[in-house]
Amino acid sequence: RSVNIVAFGNERDGFSEDNQQPSLIWSYLGRSALISQIDSSLSASHVGNPVFTEYQACVFGNINLVVHDCPVWDIFDSDWYTSCRLIGGADIIVIKYSVNDKTSFQELKDSYVPMVKKALNHCSVPVIISAIGARKNGVPCTCPLCTSDRRSCVTTSEGVQLAEELGATYLELHTLNDFYIQKYFGGVLEYFMIQSLNQKSSEKMKKRKKTQKYHRVQPPQLEQPEKMPILKGEASHYNADLHNLLCYCQCADVAFYPEDLSTVVEAHKIILCSVSHLFMLLFGVKTPSDAHDASIMQLAQSLFMVEVGDPFPSSPPGVPPCVPPVRVVVKDSVFCSCLPDILHFIYSGAFQWERLEEDIKKKLKDPDKTEHVLEKVKCILKAPGKLNTVKDCRSHQIKRLYNTSLRLFFNTPVLADVIFKIQGATVPAHRAVLVARCEVMAAMFNGNYLEANSILVPVYGVSKDTFLSFLEYLYTDSCCPASILQAMSLLICAEMYQVMRLQHICELYIITQLQSMPSRELASTSLSIVSLLKKAKFHNSDCLSTWLLHFIATNYLIFSQKPEFQELSVEERSFVEMHRWPSNLYLKQLADYRNYIHSQKCHCTVM
């Protein structure tokens, strides 16, 4: 027997000086007298971004306790299927937040609580909401990289309201000491553990009684269907793609120079503007009146100077002029010497702050100059209206920028340098993002193809909506198909442009939707599974086509009655017949059993 607990949220406010304080879950496991044989392991979707920590222990002597602690809510954005799987297998859910982090609480309430409710899907899983920490009324955070206002705390009434919305139990833990951990939080958690174990024991006894009721006359045993092939997701390489864009200097449209013009560092407007309001002002994306912060404009004027060149030569319609990169002179020589390291920091996702500090310290070997450069970087990345003095800036306090801020430039003409024409409509885009995220488009725009020298690029073979969903994935590293058919269309588009991770995401979506479809809906649906199978094979989706064959075989009694079943090839039909469920042997045994019951003049309540 086992109990599965899933914990979401971060109990730290992110600006506390004590970052070594153990988490709520680890504190409970380490202090509870009922817990023994604790083991933990870390899971990650990609290097440097831990998704959850898995703890395994024994509780109540011989009960296996499995706890998944997910401190980062981003798992719902980056890996919806894993988060649904965790919630679906949970016996108890714990949601944690710091009472001193109002912004994170608001994000939890507005964005992630609806996702949790959707994943629960009306399941009666007990939920515990833990508000952690003593409310503070100190000086607000002045970090320029943080857009939150931390002057207000999360009130008790707000926590209670959130608990009522989820039908959860609300707890306030002012500190993680023995009383709050063992007696208060532990008492509630252990109560729900006992309830879960009692419910499982009751269900097990009902099943046992039901099977023992007809021990004299046993029907044939129906074996479980063969296990379906498991499809594994591919780790995101979003930040690596954009970092490689800088390393190989593809489609660069900005060139930074020192005042003596001795060196040059190339970059891309779209990336710089996606992370900084200062660069938006510098390259004309925003006007000074839009910024509402004179300090950003002053810093831009004191640090950079954009050179105005000769007018560009005219070109025929539809053909881009030979536009050289915008020349930007960096007035601060010390800052200019560190510009390559700063750009690597920005293109890597702007979250490895400690690494940037170390790189600049090694290069300058002067504490005052190092502090000077780092302050400039903080001011460049700060949000308008925030103070620009901060003593410390840790990586976990800086959110990843691309997948949210590049979305601002998706399907907009701002800074666009290519226009796709599809189904009579036009879709603006940015070559730098396309080249970084899609190898086919990189070859198309950098090779000896017509598209390399054209602003207007026609697109054939896909609909506008599907192509927009494809571009949205390139810009944000996420996609959310509205239906199985839309996911299949997006899969075909992903195969056309050889974006394998998007193809795998679409495959997982189709499989998840079909698995969740009840038998009655599967029998009445107009969706042709055989047609999906044919498309998956034609577009080299081997994993999905194999899974669909197993799915048809597992639901043989449903699909064999449909006209589309006759469209299967001889090879496919042979596979389905071989792996069908229930098998021919079972059906023969069942017929013999029914004949026996009839001959004995017994009434079989099972059948």
Residue 359 CA, chain-centre distance (Å), reads 30
The pLDDT assigned to 419 comes to 96
Does 150 score more than 60 pLDDT? no
Domain boundaries, the chain: 2-136+151-205, 245-309+323-385+398-403, 515-606
Share of the chain above pLDDT 90, in %: 36
pLDDT category, 341, cuts 50, 70, 90? Answer: very high
The pLDDT assigned to 385 comes to 56
Q: Which residue has the higher pLDDT, 177 or 335?
A: 335
pTM greater than 0.75 (yes/no): no
Continuous segment of H or E residues that includes residue 50: strand 49-59
Q: Which residue has the higher pLDDT, 191 or 304?
A: 304
The pLDDT assigned to 147 comes to 45
> Amino acid letter at 94?
V
Q: How far apart are CA 55 and CA 70, in angstroms?
A: 11
The pLDDT assigned to 400 comes to 44
Q: How far apart are CA 385 and CA 374, in angstroms?
A: 19
Mean pLDDT of the chain: 82
Continuous segment of H or E residues that includes residue 515: helix 500-515
The pLDDT assigned to 289 comes to 79
Does 454 score more than 80 pLDDT? yes
Does 405 score more than 90 pLDDT? no
Same fold, 2-136+151-205 and 245-309+323-385+398-403: no
Does 499 score more than 60 pLDDT? yes
pLDDT category, 148, cuts 50, 70, 90? Answer: very low
Q: Which CATH class is domain 245-309+323-385+398-403?
A: alpha beta
Mean pLDDT check: name the lowest of 351-355, 525-529, 534-538: 351-355
Contacts 24+ apart (CB under 8 A), 499-504: 499/437, 499/438, 499/470, 499/473, 499/474, 500/234, 501/234, 501/236, 501/237, 502/470, 502/473, 503/541, 504/231, 504/233, 504/234, 504/543
Does 605 score more than 80 pLDDT? no
Does 44 score more than 90 pLDDT? no
Mean pLDDT check: name the lowest of 449-453, 503-507, 553-557, 563-567: 449-453
| Mean pLDDT to the nearest integer, 58-86 | 79
Tokens of 600: 């004995």
Q: How far apart are CA 429 and CA 241, in angstroms?
A: 17
pLDDT category, 230, cuts 50, 70, 90? Answer: low
| Mean pLDDT to the nearest integer, 10-21 | 62
The pLDDT assigned to 228 comes to 67
Q: How far apart are CA 598 and CA 607, in angstroms?
A: 12
Does 427 score more than 90 pLDDT? yes
- Report the first-to-last Cα separation within the chain, whole angstroms: 31
Does 145 score more than 70 pLDDT? no
| Mean pLDDT to the nearest integer, 463-468 | 96
The pLDDT assigned to 388 comes to 46
The pLDDT assigned to 596 comes to 82
Does 512 score more than 60 pLDDT? yes
| Mean pLDDT to the nearest integer, 549-571 | 93
pLDDT winner (highest mean) among 19-23, 137-141, 148-152, 153-157: 153-157
The pLDDT assigned to 20 comes to 58
In this predicted model, what pLDDT tens digit does every residue of 239-288 receive, in sequence order?
A: 889 889 998 888 889 999 999 888 999 999 999 998 888 999 999 898 88
The pLDDT assigned to 439 comes to 93
Strand partners, 98: 132
Burial of residue 433, with CB atoms counted within 10 A of its CB: 0-12 exposed, 13-18 middle, 19 or more buried: buried
The pLDDT assigned to 16 comes to 53
DSSP state of 190: H
| Mean pLDDT to the nearest integer, 114-124 | 78
CB count in 10 Å sphere of residue 308: 8
The CATH superfamily assigned to 2-136+151-205 is: P-loop containing nucleotide triphosphate hydrolases (3.40.50.300)
Mean pLDDT check: name the lowest of 23-32, 207-216, 465-474: 207-216
Share of the chain above pLDDT 70, in %: 82
The pLDDT assigned to 184 comes to 84
